[in-house]
Chains A and B, each alone.
Chain A
Amino acid sequence: MSLLMVEGLDKAFGGVIAARAVSFALEAGELLAVIGPNGAGKSTVFNIIGGQLRPDAGRVVLAGDTITGLAPRAVWRKGLGRTFQVAQTFISMSVTENVQMALMSWHGEAASLTASAAGLRRAEAIGLLGLVGMAEAADRPISALAYGDVKRVELAIALAGEPKLLLMDEPTAGMAPKERAALMQLVAGLARERKIGVLFTEHDMAAVFGHADRILVLMHGEVIASGPPDAVRRDPKVRDVYLGESGLAAANAAGTAP
């Protein structure tokens, strides 16, 4: 059985169809990229899996558990770690406190009125920061980090819940070009090493074609193609999506397309 199974997701917002019969599966240790133009339904699919939205029909199964319609905090307990398009961190805290917070929550200690939060799970947190190459910055305020480093810390936060699946919404958005490849390499390495499935959206085609094992192309809420990068790259339908439908059709008709 696959790690993540998405089956027949439908979602409409007041008559506008955002997802229609979206189905796919993701294996442990695999990187699956979801691409498509704005409004294609990427965010809708992500938010349904992450628990922010409830689908009109269909279901999401993570490691054998049906998680459709669960709140984000419940989905997290089932083994889903998430990063956001604009990094979401606790900006008043230090780098390590950010990760400690996630660890405290994972171990059911967040409500404690007796313990002292400062030293709790600190060693574990620094261990996770080591994984993402941020151990040296452990005691710096997270607000003082460069954005690329914040995204790494966010990854460490997502890893605190021992996730089986990482949901990453545009992991390299807002990063300087030179930081992007390094982050994607880090994610790919972690996924393979720890058998974590990674589902990500991305506009940076270098990141997508360089690192994804498989690619899923969405258009008007429907899956129009999926497969390994080379197959998707050659798919004429996919080219349409990125050049604009009529644009490429016209270009092809004119015989100027390769």
Chain B
Amino acid sequence: MTGDALLAVSDLTAAYGEAEVLFGLSLELHAGEAVAVIGRNGAGKTSTLKRIMGLLPARAGTVRFAGHDITRLAPYRIARLGLGYVPEERRIFTDLTVYENLEVGRRAPQAGRSAWTPERLFALFPNLAAMQGRRASAMSGGEQQMLTIARTLMGNPRAILLDEPSEGLAPVIVEQMAAAINDMKQSGVAVLLCEQNLQFATAICERAYIIERGEIRYCGTTAELAADAGLREQYLTV
């Protein structure tokens, strides 16, 4: 396909030991774009992000990011190229304060880009501002989710991988989350979002892939997907 994608994944396979989870998966993300990967539990969404980030061992296929082949790079080198990762389990450092969690993620921005600062992030996530010195273990699920995104933004990424940020959150928090992610997108960060929640994905992303059993089954715009009941019937409902 096109060579100018920011992130290009082609024919990717992955496995946990013997158990295979991805079967020749391909997708693309362009600079400044937001793309959703939609599928049910166990479809391979999390594995896709982990494999891109170098957290699952490489088997076959390639991952290219910003002109570099990152298929076999160590996670820290991938992160330094400007790819941020927000895991599903959040993986907040619960022994650290909110401010310290942000410090772990801090990296100088690449030339010519404005830097995220804790102050800017507190504006994006007002809930966090009030609890800078608090231990992360004392935060609610929604606050932790905001912190894990903010922590990743501190690395000034060009693109961010978001794994089900709406999961387990109250509807009102989900709305705040969508707004914050849209703000973040406006600032030029590309988003690859894994979701089960179609409405949430539609509120953020222009394009969507549907993933099932470790393979991409559909690729189109979120508008098409929202309009096509047959598609949703086929892949997303029971």
Contact = CB atoms under 8 A, between A and B. Distances in A.
B196 to A, nearest CB: 6
A247 B197 contact: yes
A204 B19 contact: no
Contact of A246 (B41, B43, B167, B171): B171
Interface residues of B, number: 32
A243 B215 CA distance: 19
Given A147-B19, A174-B19, A247-B199, A209 B238 contact: yes
Interface in A200-258: 203-205, 208-209, 232-233, 238-239, 242-247, 250-251, 256-258
A30 interface: no
A256 B226 contact: yes
B3 interface: no
B67 interface: no
Nearest to B171: A246
B121 interface: no
Contacts of B15: 174
A233 B237 CA distance: 9
Interface in B215-238: 215, 226-227, 229, 232-233, 236-238
Nearest to A143: B18
A246 B174 contact: yes
B237 A239 contact: yes
A244 B41 contact: no
A147 B237 contact: no
Interface string A176-210: 11000000000000000000000000011100110
A16 to B, nearest CB: 9
A6 interface: no
A232 B167 CA distance: 23
A203 B18 CA distance: 19
Contacts of B200: 244, 246-247
A130 interface: no
Contacts of B20: 147, 174-176
B126 interface: no
A205 B171 CA distance: 26
B124 to A, nearest CB: 22
Contacts, number: 86
B232 A243 contact: yes
A141 interface: no
A150 interface: yes
A244 B199 CA distance: 8
A256 B226 CA distance: 8
A205 B199 CA distance: 22
A154 to B, nearest CB: 12
Contacts of A170: 42
Nearest to A203: B42
A39 interface: yes
A86 B19 CA distance: 7
Contacts of B199: 244, 246-247, 250-251
Given A147-B19, A176-B23, A203-B43, A239 B229 contact: no
Of B17, B213, B229, most buried by chain A (CB within 10 Å of CB) is: B213
Contacts of B226: 251, 256
Contacts of B48: none
Nearest to A170: B42
B40 interface: yes
30 contacts: A38-B41, A39-B167, A86-B17, A146-B18, A147-B18, A147-B20, A150-B18, A170-B42, A173-B19, A174-B15, A174-B21, A175-B19, A177-B215, A203-B41, A203-B42, A204-B213, A209-B238, A232-B238, A239-B237, A242-B40, A242-B236, A243-B232, A243-B236, A243-B237, A244-B200, A246-B174, A247-B197, A250-B199, A251-B199, A256-B227
State the 4 A-B residue pairs at the shortest beta-carbon distance, nearest first: A174-B19, A203-B42, A244-B197, A247-B199
